[in-house]
Amino acid sequence: MNGSRQGESPSLVEVTGLCVEFGGLRAVDQLSFRLEGGAALALVGESGSGKSTVAAALLGLHRGTGARVGGSVQVAGIDVQRASDDELRRLRGGGAAMVFQDPLSSLDPYYAIGDQIAEVYRVHARGSRRAARARAVEVLDRVGIPDARRRSRSRPHEFSGGMRQRALIAMALACEPDLLIADEPTTALDVTVQAQILDLLHALREETGMGLLLVTHDVGVAAESVDEVLVMRHGRTVEHGPVGAVLGAPAQSYTRELLDAVPRVDAPRAPSAPAGEVVLEATGLRREFGRGKRAFAAVDDVSLTIRRGETLGVVGESGSGKTTLGRMLVGLLQPTAGEIKPGGGVRPEVQMVFQDPVSSLNPRRSVGESIADPLRARGEPDEGRVRGRVRELLERVGLEAAHYDRYPHEFSGGQRQRVGIARALAADPRVIVCDEPVSALDVTTQAQVVALLGELQRELGLALVFVAHDLAVVRQASDRVAVMRRGRIVESGPADEVYDNPQDPYTQQLLAAVPALDPGLAARRRAARREPAMV
């Protein structure tokens, strides 16, 4: 639905000259846009661009937090800046409802989901408890929760991630708002679930005619879902226009950069050096967790070989066992069954690059010290040589030698991941297992880190195991790919073969769910997905 309401009726959202400051820091700077009823706008930007701050400003959530808000914000006819507390409360949920990023933490863990929705409903529509519960079941049913009456009595942790996100959307729907604000609604979800949620949002919008303000870092998600895009950077507007125009023919260089950095699932990898000899061979790997009745196998009968100079991509959704597999390969976990054999007789040095650049570095030690760990552990006694080698490594991964004495919090996410790579390199490994090395990073940084890994591989003849959930990134980085599901490899082979001609239905489903950057293609894919696959 593209039509906006005509005539004198004011816009659903009208933001003029919005500024938000925290302390001395200006998070949003002179931002203006409008959104008509029933239309959909995406705020796109990397982390720190201020997009979530804007979303919060629409509901007046900055009130009382110490943030300074300037400019004017009108939502559903209410001047958010000047509204009384009561008016604001009526707006929240009633006029405009918000769907948050992390569906697990955004619901109260202690109450049944139906009760939480009913509570919100009763704030806005004075009705009986029973009526509110009935409404909760109704909206849960609407968002596709099967057996909604029974499941409405469940607590959030009893729902899967996708169902929780549906429940949050149901909560938003409960009071029939004019505007739905979705703040990174799919970031924490697997790609197939993400597609379902985006489809749901689309369908709801068609059905109820409410406006949608989508906040996302993922250009693909925006392309799938909205009419208009507003690209933000450093709190300011970079580019604003219809989705087709902005994504198809970006006027600004930053927008172009952003688009270029997005990995394409359909773009083959640049050819790499031919693979060398086998360095590591795993056969029949199995790993169980828990005991007795609650035991389950996270990895089940997985066999693979890793060759010098080659990247093996392991792709799968959450719970597929890919991380467990990675940890077994480096020796952090012992397999319950099966074995890992070195290719050439001697066990090669295997290192790991971790997913979370925050938790993978000790916050209380300088990065230089962390990188020096493998050197010292090996008994290198000469302090000067240790420091020299660390400086060399820092420079090799694109940092400065002087960073030796800095602490992790002084670095950005991408830089920290570079530190992690330097630490892995310090041990002179022949194999590096990268466990979701870029999933916590912005797209532009992602591309840089993937490029760095490729460079290092060529230079040092490393074997890489690239574990990730993002199909596009894996394709970008890998020579061969293994697709995992429920602890098993369902399909493996050369990357191009697997991506261009997937044999396994699961692989096909995964690929079909990847958001497309072309809005037209996205619409066609959506139509194709129509027969709803349940979460």
| In the complex, minimum distance from the CB of residue 339 to another protein, in angstroms, rounded to a whole number | 20
| In the complex, minimum distance from the CB of residue 502 to another protein, in angstroms, rounded to a whole number | 30
Map 338-394 to HEC letters: EEEEECCCCCCCEEEECCCCCCCCCCCCCHHHHHHHHHHHCCCCCHHHHHHHHHHHH
| In the complex, minimum distance from the CB of residue 341 to another protein, in angstroms, rounded to a whole number | 19
Using the minimum distance from each CB to another protein, give the nearer residue, 293 or 530.
293
| In the complex, minimum distance from the CB of residue 66 to another protein, in angstroms, rounded to a whole number | 6
Using the minimum distance from each CB to another protein, give the nearer residue, 186 or 492.
186
Using the minimum distance from each CB to another protein, give the nearer residue, 119 or 141.
119
Using the minimum distance from each CB to another protein, give the nearer residue, 158 or 206.
158
Which 8-state DSSP code applies to residue 534? P
- Tokens, residue 204: 């709801």
| In the complex, minimum distance from the CB of residue 147 to another protein, in angstroms, rounded to a whole number | 19
Using the minimum distance from each CB to another protein, give the nearer residue, 82 or 153.
153
Of the candidates 175, 180, 97, the one whose C-alpha atom is nearest the C-alpha of residue 138 is 175
Residue 244 phi, psi dihedral angles, 5° rounding = -60, -45
Cα dihedral: 425, 427, 428, 429 (round 10): -80
Using the minimum distance from each CB to another protein, give the nearer residue, 159 or 506.
159
| In the complex, minimum distance from the CB of residue 363 to another protein, in angstroms, rounded to a whole number | 5
| In the complex, minimum distance from the CB of residue 355 to another protein, in angstroms, rounded to a whole number | 7
Q: HSE-up of 131 (CA within 13 Å, CB side)?
A: 9
Strand pairing category for 13-22 and 25-35: antiparallel
| In the complex, minimum distance from the CB of residue 258 to another protein, in angstroms, rounded to a whole number | 16
Using the minimum distance from each CB to another protein, give the nearer residue, 171 or 213.
171
Using the minimum distance from each CB to another protein, give the nearer residue, 94 or 368.
94
Of the candidates 229, 254, 220, 267, the one whose C-alpha atom is nearest the C-alpha of residue 499 is 267
Contacts of 378 (CB under 8 A, 6+ apart): 427
- Tokens, residue 495: 């990357």
Residue 134 phi, psi dihedral angles, 5° rounding = -60, -40
Distance of alpha carbon 287 from alpha carbon 121, whole angstroms: 46
Using the minimum distance from each CB to another protein, give the nearer residue, 413 or 493.
413
Using the minimum distance from each CB to another protein, give the nearer residue, 110 or 271.
110
| In the complex, minimum distance from the CB of residue 287 to another protein, in angstroms, rounded to a whole number | 16
Using the minimum distance from each CB to another protein, give the nearer residue, 145 or 372.
372
Q: HSE-up of 300 (CA within 13 Å, CB side)?
A: 12
Using the minimum distance from each CB to another protein, give the nearer residue, 469 or 480.
469
| In the complex, minimum distance from the CB of residue 52 to another protein, in angstroms, rounded to a whole number | 4
* Helix (H) or strand (E) segment spanning residue 413: helix 413-426
Number of CB atoms found within 10 A of residue 351's CB: 22
| In the complex, minimum distance from the CB of residue 326 to another protein, in angstroms, rounded to a whole number | 11
Beta partners for residue 92, in sequence order: 96
Helix, strand or coil, per DSSP, at residue 285? strand
Of the candidates 17, 22, 33, the one whose C-alpha atom is nearest the C-alpha of residue 70 is 17
Helix, strand or coil, per DSSP, at residue 143? coil
Q: Can you state the angle between helices 161-173 and 191-208, rounded to 10 degrees?
A: 20
Strand pairing category for 211-216 and 40-44: parallel
| In the complex, minimum distance from the CB of residue 21 to another protein, in angstroms, rounded to a whole number | 11
DSSP class per residue in 195-257 = HHHHHHHHHHHHHH--EEEEEES-HHHHHHH-SEEEEEETTEEEEEEEHHHHHHS-SSHHHHH
If you count them, how many residues does the chain have?
535
